[in-house]
Amino acid sequence: MLVNASPQSSPSSSSSNPTMKFTLAFGALLATSAAAFSPVANRAAVSLVSSSSALNSFSSTIFEVRDVNFADTKEQIVKGGRDLFPLLPKAFEGIKEIGVIGWGSQAPAQAQNLRDSLKEAGCDIKVRIGLREGSSSFAEAREVGFTEDADTLGEMFDVIKKSDLVMLLISDAAQAALYKEVFAAMKPGATLGLSHGFLLGYLESIGEKFPEDMDVIAVCPKGMGPSVRRLYEQGKEVNGAGINASFAVHQDKSGKATELALGWGVALGSPFMFETTLSSEYRSDIYGERGILLGAVHGIVESLYRRYQRQGMTPEQAFIESCESITGNIVKIISTRGIKAVYDGLTGDDKEVFKQAYSASYMPAKEILQEIYDEVSSGNEIRTVIMHGKRINKYPVGKIDGTDTWIVGEKVRSERDEENIPLNPFTAGVYVATMMAQIDVLLEAGHPYSEVVNESVIEAVDSLCPYMHYRGVAFMVDNCSFTAKTGSRKWAPRFDYILDQLAYTAVDNGKPVNEDLISAFENHKVHAAVEECCKLRPTVDISVGSASSTKEIVIQ
């Protein structure tokens, strides 16, 4: 999916309340959970090896399950589309009320998509929003049609008590603080729905589990919430478009959990869904957003922007050759033709420059990426998020686009010639090397190709980079979850530093190209998997600047 937005136009709507919505009372709750999750707390050991290899084949009597060859492995997917909406009543059988709890990145998009899809399918299922008492998000929910008068908006625990499917979409830190109260409020037979495996990681780390008498499922869109809604709206006339999603069935007491999870994904507008586990999902997701999805690409742009100016470029040209080259050219090629197409399209000296940059950047990037994966798998990164939530009232999330890089970027965007954005081969080599290093860390940890490609490639090029292309790094990062924006801010400087100190100096000092690394890239099995995923992409390219019911966040 490519971006199609006029740089002069403003976002369809920006948040009237740009500060982070964490109250002092919520901070106190987080303090309790952070204490329980302290380094000295008694925590269950968490394996560094992904459990994804333990996946079994799944079946559905409602939706067609397809076998797809990703590289040298066979996986199963379910293809979505609006033509499947007539199947939703059967998938949601027994569900009369859905409670969408929260109003952050994912909740507004998922609630509206579900409401619209179920209505079109003729389902008499109420979608109700649950928010903490006094939340400023009540006003935002009312703006898109959820109201107290219609009994589709209420206090979160009142909504939880009434719901047959509780979609817990509050922030990860809030889930860690409130999970006991949430579980206690759920009625017998209700299903817990998640869009991230973070809560499982937290529970594992403190030696706890989900209650055994409930179904626990997850549907995890591989993109930020606003893009989930925008693509749903923009794809209405072409049998739907949206963001791919993984799904997981963690507990299936009713025997209906798989069908419900698949129905949820179809109702969100996912072009296709692939199976994962909650454990594999949180490892790959938290890791990915700290890597090439958010943190790494931020660090890459900052480091290259400075490098190109040292080489004599103007600030404007340095931004064009770094950030614009990635968001306006490189990711567009990857989105439709795959990673290797970037390399194959280069010739002569440009290809040699790519090789130099790739060879020098791959191992430094992989060093940081392996550290991130280990931090996530061990529970350390989850603990960081919890502790950051505890501090949020004292140290609010600040702007990350106030530097010269992004001030210049605003000027460049206002004068952009969309059809003539250059592909800088050095920039391409650094970006592709980091993406490939991220892929290799996940594959070495046992994650399946479908998850690896979506968490390292599809989400980057089809959901996130279009937002940076439209309005800069903060517009991309800050429209993601609290966990994502926390991790991006933490790890972006690490990529910036290691590339500047190790990769670029290696090139400048004339270090020879590592031909083994280049050969491994040229012949990597992931290229076949990416090619297969490109076949499954929707025909609609995201338009970030078009009218939408979604609200993007702009931190002032």
How do residues 284-340 score in pLDDT, each as one tens digit?
999 999 999 999 999 999 999 999 999 999 999 999 999 999 999 999 999 999 999
Coil vs helix vs strand at 7: coil
Residue 6 has pLDDT above 50, yes or no: no
Catalytic (active site) residue 388: no
Residue 107 has pLDDT above 90, yes or no: yes
pLDDT of residue 547: 78
Q: What is the mean pLDDT of residues 355-373?
A: 99
Which candidate in 196, 298, 469, 527 is catalytic?
A: 196
- More confident call, 24 vs 125: 125
Rounded-to-integer distance, Cα 544 and Cα 329, Å = 17
Nearest-CA neighbor of 161 among 249, 101, 250?
101
How do residues 111-161 score in pLDDT, each as one tens digit?
999 999 999 999 999 999 999 999 999 999 999 999 999 999 999 999 999
Return the structure tokens found at 169.
């979409």
User: CA of 408: how far to CAs of 8, 315, 317, 412, 552, in Å?
Assistant: 15, 7, 10, 6, 22
pLDDT of residue 41: 38
From 158-162, 389-393, 458-462, 521-525, the region with the lowest mean pLDDT? 389-393
pLDDT of residue 72: 83
pLDDT of residue 1: 40
pTM: 0.88
The answer to whether 231 and 243 have CB atoms below 8 angstroms apart is yes
From 311-315, 388-392, 516-520, the region with the lowest mean pLDDT? 388-392
pLDDT of residue 56: 60
Q: Cite the beta strand spans of 406-512 per DSSP E.
A: none
The answer to whether 466 and 1 have CB atoms below 8 angstroms apart is yes
> Crossing angle of helices 295-310/348-378, nearest 10°?
140
Give the chain's count of helices (H) and strands (E).
27, 10
Rounded-to-integer distance, Cα 524 and Cα 438, Å = 13
pLDDT of residue 55: 61
Residue 505 has pLDDT above 50, yes or no: yes
In one letter, which amino acid is 248? Answer: A
- More confident call, 24 vs 60: 60
Instruction: Work out the pLDDT band at 554, boundaries 50, 70, 90.
Output: low
Rounded-to-integer distance, Cα 450 and Cα 356, Å = 29
Residue 19 has pLDDT above 60, yes or no: no
Residue 15 has pLDDT above 50, yes or no: no
Q: What is the mean pLDDT of residues 529-542?
A: 82
pLDDT of residue 35: 44
Residue with tokens 């409602």: 62
- More confident call, 48 vs 106: 106
The whole-chain average pLDDT of the chain stands at 90
Rounded-to-integer distance, Cα 297 and Cα 89, Å = 42
pLDDT of residue 325: 99
Rounded-to-integer distance, Cα 481 and Cα 198, Å = 12
How do residues 428-446 score in pLDDT, each as one tens digit?
999 999 999 999 999 999 9
- Backbone dihedral angles phi then psi of residue 386, each to the nearest 5 degrees: -60, -45
From 8-17, 146-155, 171-180, 324-333, the region with the lowest mean pLDDT? 8-17
pLDDT of residue 241: 77
**289 is annotated as contributing to ligand binding:** yes
pLDDT of residue 534: 82
pLDDT of residue 177: 94
Residue 34 has pLDDT above 50, yes or no: no
**500 is annotated as contributing to ligand binding:** no
How do residues 468-491 score in pLDDT, each as one tens digit?
999 999 999 999 999 999 999 999
Who's near 507: CB < 8 A, 6+ residues apart? 356, 357, 360
Residue 52 has pLDDT above 60, yes or no: no
pLDDT of residue 546: 77
Residue 203 has pLDDT above 70, yes or no: yes
Rounded-to-integer distance, Cα 438 and Cα 365, Å = 8
